[in-house]
Amino acid sequence: MFESAEIGHFIDKETYDQEVPALREALLEAQYDLQQQKRCAVIVLINGIEGAGKGETVKLLNEWMDPRRIEVRTFDRQTDEELAHPPAWRYWRQLPAKGRMGVFFGNWYSQMLQGRVHGVFKNAVLDQAINGAERLEKMLSDEGALIFKFWFHLSKKQMKARLNALKDDPLHSWRISPLDWQQSQTYDKFVRYGERVIRRTSRDYAPWNIVEGVDPHYRSLTVGKILLEGMQAVLNSPKPRARASNFPPLPDIVDGLSLLDCLDLNKQLEKDDYQEQLITEQARLSGLMRDKRMRRHALITVFEGNDAAGKGGSIRRVAAALDPRQYNIVPIAAPSEDERAQPYLWRFWRQIPARGKFTIFDRSWYGRVLVERVEGFCTQADWMRAYGEINDFEEQLRDAGVIVVKFWLAIDKQTQLERFQAREEIPFKRFKITEEDWRNREKWELYRSAVCDMVDRTSTEIAPWTLVEANDKRWARVKVLRTINEALEAAFEKQDKRNKKSKK
Amino acid sequence: MFESAEIGHFIDKETYDQEVPALREALLEAQYDLQQQKRCAVIVLINGIEGAGKGETVKLLNEWMDPRRIEVRTFDRQTDEELAHPPAWRYWRQLPAKGRMGVFFGNWYSQMLQGRVHGVFKNAVLDQAINGAERLEKMLSDEGALIFKFWFHLSKKQMKARLNALKDDPLHSWRISPLDWQQSQTYDKFVRYGERVIRRTSRDYAPWNIVEGVDPHYRSLTVGKILLEGMQAVLNSPKPRARASNFPPLPDIVDGLSLLDCLDLNKQLEKDDYQEQLITEQARLSGLMRDKRMRRHALITVFEGNDAAGKGGSIRRVAAALDPRQYNIVPIAAPSEDERAQPYLWRFWRQIPARGKFTIFDRSWYGRVLVERVEGFCTQADWMRAYGEINDFEEQLRDAGVIVVKFWLAIDKQTQLERFQAREEIPFKRFKITEEDWRNREKWELYRSAVCDMVDRTSTEIAPWTLVEANDKRWARVKVLRTINEALEAAFEKQDKRNKKSKK
C-alpha cells in the first residue's frame, strides 16, 4: 500500500515553477465557485508519518488559496470542555459550513492510531473506532461533504534522515517530534496499523491518497491537483447530488394496530393527587440532579408530540424543579441559514450538555423523520438513513455517560381540536395557534405512521421512547417527571454496580 | 425497538381469507416479472425468537409463490467442507442468481448472535461481525440484490406459552427448541444482543422488519406485503439502478513516476543459473506443499500481467513442481451468463481452495479494476468500490489461513511487440494472438495507470503484490517460484510462533 510512496518521486524546480501559477488560479477559482454556490463543505484530513511535510503542505494551501475560506483545525490533547462531551463533539463543532474548507490536522484517525500504537487497546477496539469513522464519513458524505484523506508517507530511512536534518535546523528544531517517533518500533507499528486503517476506510466517497513526502515540489503539486480535481468534479456534476432511492418505503401495519392505539389516552389524575405527586417528583428530580453521581453523567430529554399535546407545560414543570444554571431549554424550529449549511445533526451536537448538565429539547433531531419526512423537506433516502444515523448519535451519547430520555406526548384528534379552539379564544394563548397547526392537523394520519416508524426504529435500550398519554395534562406532567427520575436512578445504580465490580 | 411487536397484532380469518388471493396473485406476478427481467436477486433473511413462526412463514411463502424460483437454505452446523473454507464461503455458494429468491434461515446474524449469547465472545468481536455483515450486505446491494431482513418476535411470555403449546402437539413436538431457549436468561440476552445487531445493521438498503409472531394471519400478511412492496418498488424503478458518481477520479501521478518505472525490466538469468535455480525452487515448493503445516493453510496465487508477459509459462513451471491432485488452475475469461447473474466476486468465491489445497488464478478478481475499468464494462463507482471490496475479500481469506500471493508480470512495450510478432509467425502459437491483443496494446497507458492504482490500493500486508520483471522469462519464472516459497515459509513460521505462544 505504501510501496509507490517510497520510490523517490521528484519534480524539478523549473517544472514546479511553471505549473504552480495555473494550479493556484484554478484552485482559487474552484474555491470561489464552491463558495458562491454553497455546493458542499470540503473536509481535508491530514495524516501520516512525522516529518513527511504535513504542516508545510497545509501552510502552502493557505498561501495558494483564499485563507479566509479555509479553517485549519488541530486536534491534539482534548480540552477540559472536550473531555466533558462525547469524543466526536470536538469534530462536530469544527465542521466547515457548505462553501468552506476545513483542514483537520490530528483528526479521528490520529487518535485511533495513537491508541493502538501505544497499546492502549487491541485490534477489536481499533476496528470499532474504524467503524465509527466510516459511519461518520458516510454520513458527512451523504449530507454533501467532499472528503479528502491524505496520508503523507516516508520510508523509515527517509524519516530518520528527515528528523536528523530538522534537529540541526534552528528554524525547525522546535518541531522535533516526540521521542517515540525516533524509535523504529513506533514507525513499524504506525505503518502497520496505518495500513489496516487505510485499507478499511478507503471508500469511493472518501478515498485515501498516499503522498510521498520527501520532495516538497512533488508533494505540493500532488495535493494541489487532487484537491482541484475533486472540487471540479463536484462543480461539474449536476446539482443537487441526486440519490434516487428505489428501496421500498416502510410497510404499513397490516392490521392497522399501532403502539399508539395501545395507549389509554384517558388516563388521568385528580387535582389533589396531581399536586402531591408533582411536588414529590419535582423534589426527587431536584435531589437527583444534585447527586454527586450526576457529575459523571449528563441528561438530555427530548419532547416530541402532537401539536397542542402540552409539551411546553410539561417542560415548565420539569424546569420548575431545577436551578436555572443546571439546565438549558432548546426550542427547535426550522433550521437557520447557518444550520442549513451543515449536516442536519450539527445543530444538535452543538447543544449537547457537558457532564453534570441537562438539556431539554423542545422538538429535536427527530424532525428529520417526522416533519421533514411528512412534508417532503428531505428525500426518502435521507430520512431512511436517518434512523441509523440517529441511533449512532444516541449511542455515542450513551457511551459518554449521557442519559437520553425521549417523550412522545400523544393526544387524540378531538382533544387537539378542543385545545386549538380554546387557544383561539383565549387572547394570551392566541400566539400559540397558527394556520400551520391547522394544516398539520390535516396530515394526522401521515404523522401517525411517521411516529410509529420512528418508535419502532429508534426505541432502543440505549435511548427508549416513552409514549405519554397526554389527554390529561396532569397525568402527562407527572409521568414525564417520574420517567426522568427513574432513568436517572437506573443510570446511577448501574454506575454503582460498575464501581463495585471494579473495586473488587 | 420490539415494543410494537408485543402489542397483540391480529387479523381475523375473514379479512385474511379476503386478502390472500390478491396478495398471492400479485406476489406471483412480481416474482415472474423479476425473473423475466433478471432485475435482481432477492435475499430474504429469517431471524428472531424461537417459536415465532419462522418456519411456518417460509413454508407459506413457498405455497404462495412459485417454489421453483425460491431457494430455501438453512445454515446450521458447518459441514466439514465449510469448515475448510472461510466462514462467508457457505453463504456465497448459496447466493440466488438474478431473478431468483434465496431464503436464508440461520444466516450470518444467527451465527453472531449465538456466539454472543453463549459468551463465546464479547461485544467488540460482535461488533466486528456486525461490521462484516454490513459490508457484505452493502456489496450485495451495490451489486443489485434486494435484501429483506425479518425478525420474528415474541414477548417472553408469548414465547413460553408457545413452546408449551408445541410440546403437547404431537405434530410439532419434534420442533421443540434446544433446552436453552426455555431459560429466560437466554431470551433476555438474545433480545438484548438482537437489538444491538438490528440497530446497527438496519440501513436504508437493507432495513430490518420486526414482525410480531403470535397471530399467523397477521404474521403472514405482513411478510407477504413487505415482500410484494419491495419487489414492486424495484420493478417500478428505472433500470438499471443508476448510481451516478460525482466523486473525483483517481489522481494522476504528478511527476509521472510509477512503481512500474522503478522496475529494472532487464534483469535476467543465464540458462545454467536458471536451470539450477528453477529446480531448487521447484523442489522447495514441492516440499513446502507436503509440509504438515500446510494442512492449516490454503494457497492462492494470482497471475496478472501485460498480454504476452509469460503468465502461462510461469504457471506451468509452478504446476510442474506439484502433484496434480494438489492444485487447480482457474483461467478467467469474460464471465458466463450464470456468472453475470451474480455479484462479480461470486465466481472467485466458488474457486477458493479448501485447507491444504492450492488454486492458481490465471487472471482474477482484479479484472474489475483492470479490464472492466479500462474498457468501461462497469461504472467508475463500481470499480472504485471494488478496491475496498477486494481488500475485504482477501482479509477474509487471510483470516481463514489462506495465503494469497499476487503477481503482476511486467514487460515493456517493445518486448510485447516482439512476442506478438513471434506468435503470429509460429504456427502452434498463433492461437495465442488475437485482434483483441492488438487493441489492448493501444490502451497501454490506460492499463498502466490502472495497474498502478491497483497496486497502490490493494497491496497490503495481508496480500502484497509482487511486481515481476518479465522481459526475461527465466528471471520471471524463478522469481515467481521463489516468492511463493517465501510466502509459504513466512506463514509457517508465523504459525510456529503462535503455537509456541499458546503452549506457554
User: What is the domain partition of chain B in residue ranges?
Assistant: 3-236, 260-503
**Alpha carbons B55 and B78: distance in angstroms, whole number:** 20
Residues of B in contact with A259 (CB under 8 A): 3-4, 7
Give the pLDDT of residue B240. 55
Using the Cβ of A202 and the Cβ atoms of chain B, whether some distance falls under 8 Å is answered with yes
| DSSP string of A339-375, one letter each residue | HHTS-TTHHHHTTPPPTT-EEEEES-GGGGGTHHHHT
What is the average pLDDT across B132-153?
93
- C-alpha distances (whole Å) from B494 to each of A479, B284, B500 are 61, 18, 10
**Alpha carbons A318 and A488: distance in angstroms, whole number:** 14
**Alpha carbons A445 and A463: distance in angstroms, whole number:** 25
Cell of B186: 437466554
Residues of B in contact with A255 (CB under 8 A): 9-11, 218, 221
Instruction: Please state the CATH superfamily assignment of the domain spanning residues B3-236 in this structure.
Output: P-loop containing nucleotide triphosphate hydrolases (3.40.50.300)
**Which residue in B192, B238, B391 is closest to A199 by CB distance?**
B391
**Alpha carbons B54 and A307: distance in angstroms, whole number:** 40
The string of pLDDT tens digits covering residues B36-69 is 888 899 999 999 998 889 988 998 998 898 888 8
**Alpha carbons A362 and A330: distance in angstroms, whole number:** 6
What residue ranges in B347-444 does DSSP mark as E strands?
A: 358-362, 402-410
Using the Cβ of B377 and the Cβ atoms of chain A, whether some distance falls under 8 Å is answered with no
The string of pLDDT tens digits covering residues B449-483 is 999 999 999 998 899 999 999 999 999 999 999 99
Residue A78 confidence (pLDDT) above 60: yes
Alpha-carbon torsion B331, B336, B340, B346, what sign?
negative
CATH 3.40.50.300 fits A259-498, yes or no: yes
Please list the alpha-helical segments (H only) found in A54-177: 54-64, 80-83, 89-92, 108-117, 123-142, 156-167
Alpha-carbon torsion A30, A32, A38, A44, what sign?
positive
B109-128 residues touching A, CB cutoff 8 A: 124-125, 127-128
Label residue B215 left, alpha or beta by phi (over 0 means left) and psi (-120 to 50 means alpha).
beta
Mutation choice for B interface testing from A12, A16, A200, A246 by most B CBs within 10 A: A246
**Alpha carbons A452 and B5: distance in angstroms, whole number:** 11
Query: What SS3 class is residue A256?
Result: coil
What residue ranges in B255-401 does DSSP mark as E strands?
A: 298-305, 327-331, 358-362
Q: Residue B437: CB partners within 8 Å, gap ≥ 6?
A: B307, B308, B420
Residue B439 confidence (pLDDT) above 90: no
Residue A177 confidence (pLDDT) above 60: no
**Alpha carbons B409 and B263: distance in angstroms, whole number:** 11
Amino acid identity of A126?
Answer: L
**Alpha carbons A24 and A30: distance in angstroms, whole number:** 10
Looking at the DSSP assignment, which residues form a beta bridge with residue A101? A42, A70
Give the pLDDT of residue B12. 93
Instruction: Please state the CATH superfamily assignment of the domain spanning residues B260-503 in this structure.
Output: P-loop containing nucleotide triphosphate hydrolases (3.40.50.300)
- Find the closest chain A residue to B230 by CA distance: A248
Cell of B317: 513451471
Amino acid identity of A347?
Answer: R
The string of pLDDT tens digits covering residues A345-359 is 999 999 999 999 999
Residue A242 confidence (pLDDT) above 50: no
The string of pLDDT tens digits covering residues A81-127 is 888 899 899 999 889 999 999 999 889 999 899 899 988 899 889 99
Residues of A in contact with B1 (CB under 8 A): 456-461
**Which residue in A199, A249, A259 is closest to B7 by CB distance?**
A259
| DSSP string of A26-42, one letter each residue | HHHHHHHHHHHHT---E
**Alpha carbons A425 and A406: distance in angstroms, whole number:** 32
Residue B239 confidence (pLDDT) above 70: no
CB contact under 8 A, B241 and A241: no
pLDDT category of residue B226 using cuts at 50, 70 and 90:
very high
Give the pLDDT of residue B501. 85
Give the pLDDT of residue B169. 65
Residues of A in contact with B138 (CB under 8 A): none
What is the average pLDDT across B21-36?
92
By CB atoms closer than 10 A (0-12, 13-18, 19+), residue A427 is exposed
**Alpha carbons A259 and A261: distance in angstroms, whole number:** 5
What angle do helix axes A271-290 and A311-319 make, rounded to 10 degrees?
A: 50
CB-CB neighbours of A193 under 10 Å: 18
Cell of B451: 495497474
Query: What SS3 class is residue B201?
Result: helix
CB contact under 8 A, A252 and B456: no
Give the pLDDT of residue B348. 96
B225-254 residues touching A, CB cutoff 8 A: 225-226, 229-230, 232-234, 236-238, 241-242, 244-254
Q: Residue B397: CB partners within 8 Å, gap ≥ 6?
A: B86, B300, B352, B404, B463
**Alpha carbons A121 and A129: distance in angstroms, whole number:** 11
Give the pLDDT of residue B419. 92
Percent of chain A with pLDDT over 90: 58
Mean pLDDT, chain A, rounded, equals 89
Q: CB under 8 Å, gap of 24 or more: what pairs does B176-184 form?
A: B177/B50, B177/B51, B181/B50, B181/B51, B184/B156, B184/B160
Alpha-carbon torsion A282, A284, A290, A295, what sign?
negative
**Alpha carbons A94 and A471: distance in angstroms, whole number:** 43
**Alpha carbons A186 and A450: distance in angstroms, whole number:** 52
CB contact under 8 A, A222 and B128: no
Residue A39 confidence (pLDDT) above 70: yes
Same topology for domains B3-236 and B260-503, yes or no?
Answer: yes
Using the Cβ of A438 and the Cβ atoms of chain B, whether some distance falls under 8 Å is answered with no
- The arrangement of strands across the sheet holding B358-362 comes to B327-331, B358-362, B298-305, B402-410, B465-469
Query: What SS3 class is residue A50?
Result: coil
Closest CA to A207 of B386, B143, B201: B386
Give the pLDDT of residue B502. 81
Using the Cβ of A178 and the Cβ atoms of chain B, whether some distance falls under 8 Å is answered with no
What is the average pLDDT across A405-418?
95
Residue A53 DSSP symbol: S
Backbone angles phi, psi at A327, to 5 degrees: -130, 170
- Find the closest chain A residue to B225 by CA distance: A251
Residue B417 confidence (pLDDT) above 90: yes
**Alpha carbons B352 and B47: distance in angstroms, whole number:** 28
What is the average pLDDT across A468-491?
97
Angle at A158 between CA A153 and CA A161, to 5 degrees: 135
Residue A303 confidence (pLDDT) above 60: yes
pLDDT category of residue A180 using cuts at 50, 70 and 90:
low
Give the pLDDT of residue B256. 80
The string of pLDDT tens digits covering residues B164-220 is 777 776 655 555 555 566 677 889 999 999 999 998 898 888 889 999 999 999 999
Using the Cβ of A203 and the Cβ atoms of chain B, whether some distance falls under 8 Å is answered with yes
Cell of B216: 399467523
- Find the closest chain B residue to A241 by CA distance: B246
